[in-house]
Chains A and B, each alone.
Chain A
């Protein structure tokens, strides 16, 4: 009898401890979600304002002085960058929605929790593919490709390239936050075992 009472007490202690840990997990979830939202939004904005115009002196004839031609570099010139921006915009919008849903839900409804995880995984795929596309084209811009004679352009548009690289880095961190959000139930389950 005494042993049973002790066992019940132990269970009660464990239960309250488990709830404390679940609360910590929930807070972790919210912080990560906020981080993912902020990072992807920042990445989208940094790409969106990435317009630079460079004045390039071009020599037409040998005798004449070089003609200064302003050459603009805009983010929507390359489809990969457009895809990157759209992916980040979608991810940040979804981040805002899921943040609200997670605050309302607070881990009560199991179905809603599963739905959020499913959509998180989708966002991981979307963000990673957008990052891949943007960084591949960015690498082409940095180094060029001599086999197909695509010249590098980052020696001319250096500001544009640096701003874009910063944006890819931000988006990469944001997608890592989404990846951790998918893996969070794993931590919760490991605590229980």
Chain B
């Protein structure tokens, strides 16, 4: 045991000495900043397009269609509002890391943690809204749910566009997790 320790000591020291130096491990904070901006833009667009999807049809009485009639779409709007705010905060944090690289590893830890949580929230929100929107688009005759997109065309276009942009946002958050995980893996001692 002791001899193994001794033989591995130099390697261990080699890997642990450059901790204070900024050269330890790779980092892509500029790319990170761009991705966070993309996440902010896609969340904003998704929320605005979803919220503006009101349509009133006269069939023959006026019957409005609003996003807040469905709990799935409310969850979608809430999730993407949270991710928009989160992306502003973390973009500022990323900027401050680019300015002052001393706290890099610590910020990477926080980024990975919160990015993974936001990824879970965004993916589930996209899935939720997509599942309900698909029923609205195609209907389901097994359980007697009629399709509504032949009546509310503008509403459905808004919802569909919003879910598409939301999907882009989810993909961006996957990329963010990948980026933080790569940067962290290059720092984990083997």
Contacts and interface: CB of A to CB of B under 8 A. Distances in A.
B127 A130 contact: yes
Interface residues of A, number: 55
- The secondary-structure label for the interface of chain A is helix
Contact of A189 (B5, B109, B127, B145): B109
B5 A16 contact: yes
B116 A137 contact: no
A113 B185 contact: yes
B131 A133 contact: yes
A188 B134 contact: no
Interface stretch (B31-39, B42-50, B68-76, B80-88): B68-76
Interface stretch (A48-56, A94-102, A118-126): A118-126
Interface in B1-41: 1-2, 5-6, 8-9, 12-13
A113 B148 CA distance: 47
B181 A137 contact: no
A191 B148 CA distance: 54
B101 interface: no
Interface of B: 1-2, 5-6, 8-9, 12-13, 65, 69-72, 105, 109, 112-113, 116-117, 119-121, 123-132, 134-136, 138, 140, 142-146, 148, 170, 174, 177-178, 181-182, 184-190
Interface of A: 8, 11-12, 15-16, 18, 73, 77-80, 83, 107-108, 110, 113-114, 117-118, 121-122, 124-126, 128-137, 139-141, 145, 147-151, 153, 175, 179, 182-183, 185-186, 188-190, 192-193
